[in-house]
Amino acid sequence: MSSEVIRRSSRSGGQKPIVGIKKGTFRELLKSMRILRTITGLTSILVVAALVNKVSLDLLFLGSTWVFVYAAVAIHNAKLDGDYDLPGYHQHAINLLVLVSFVLALRNEVIFMTFLVWAILGYIYNTISRFVLMADVTICAITHHALPAFSSALLLGLPFTKALGIGSFFFMTCWFLIHMKNLKDFEKDARNKYATLVVQSSDKGVSHAKRSIAISCVFMSVAYFMFDLPNLFLAVSAALVILTSICIARINLNRMKKALDLSRFLYVTFILGIALISTTKYEILIPFLALFTLYSPSLLTEISSDTRCFYLKRHLAHAVLP
């Protein structure tokens, strides 16, 4: 796959100007928070509650802290990348969000230490990690998946070693999956001199992404053994294999933005499957399903449309690892 093909895909997957919205407004500030991207962290918290089959008010504080600190980091990132024309008071908004997350984190020591790690790694992500190969992927795997799962396990009373094992599992599973994010916005990453495999070599970067999402799918299937899940999870594993194949097919078709969206949907499907067969507590399932619906409608429509497309069907046969 040539770099020119990646450039065309990057341009087609970029943000389109929204007509009728005045730039530099409060609405632009809200968009820059990218709240929907906090869903992965929130579901990483909830999936541990489902596995333990236990709820705690501490998890609400942990999730709220995550949302506010992520919003602050996201605004800072949007300013550095020039993704939005932010209003002049955006720095005050960042300070306020950090303050709110700080106050929420005072709930207990676990949440406070988690807040500190989130804040520090968020700052490193925006300032240093983008220039170090794979550092951004590693930080995202920690902040969005491993750390929320680890801290949730501690808050629910699991021993440190078991909590560490859960966090490590989600880190490895998601570290491979997150490589998908660098397929999009290739040209902007190159202009900013960010260190990604796609920037260094488009062919190697694309091959690595396809290989990584397949490895991530294997790790997801290992959850059946690690968490001693019922046989019903085998059906979830089959669905994950199908979604992974479609995702790789999208990469083969140079539809990088849709491939990225589907990789996120893949993760949400994975943990939703764990939750549905691990607990019957409505306090866990209701927020889980609510978060799931934020992803599912448009993505399911796209998947259905793609599978009816003859061109995609032809490429599904070639959705193999390089």
Kindly report, residue by residue over 231-259, the tens digit of the pLDDT: 999 999 999 999 999 888 888 887 777 88
Whether the pLDDT of residue 143 is over 80: the answer is yes
> pTM value?
0.81
pLDDT at site 6: 47
Report the domain count for the chain: 1
Specify if 321 maps to a domain.
Answer: no
Average predicted confidence (pLDDT) for the chain: 81
Whether the pLDDT of residue 5 is over 70: the answer is no
The pLDDT of 199-206, averaged and rounded, is 67
pLDDT at site 229: 92
Specify if 264 maps to a domain.
Answer: yes
Q: Which domain holds residue 231?
A: 3-12+23-316
Specify if 33 maps to a domain.
Answer: yes
The pLDDT of 2-21, averaged and rounded, is 45
Specify if 322 maps to a domain.
Answer: no
* Cα 47 to Cα 66: distance, rounded to the nearest angstrom: 15
The pLDDT of 210-225, averaged and rounded, is 91
Specify if 292 maps to a domain.
Answer: yes
pLDDT at site 183: 72
Report which of residues 141 and 315 the model is more confident about: 141
Whether the pLDDT of residue 291 is over 70: the answer is yes
Specify if 17 maps to a domain.
Answer: no
Per-residue pLDDT tens over the stretch 76-122:
888 877 778 888 888 888 999 999 999 999 999 999 999 999 999 98
The pLDDT of 193-197, averaged and rounded, is 70
pLDDT at site 315: 52
Specify if 246 maps to a domain.
Answer: yes
Specify if 303 maps to a domain.
Answer: yes
The pLDDT of 192-197, averaged and rounded, is 70
Give the domain CATH number at 214.
1.10.600
pLDDT at site 308: 52
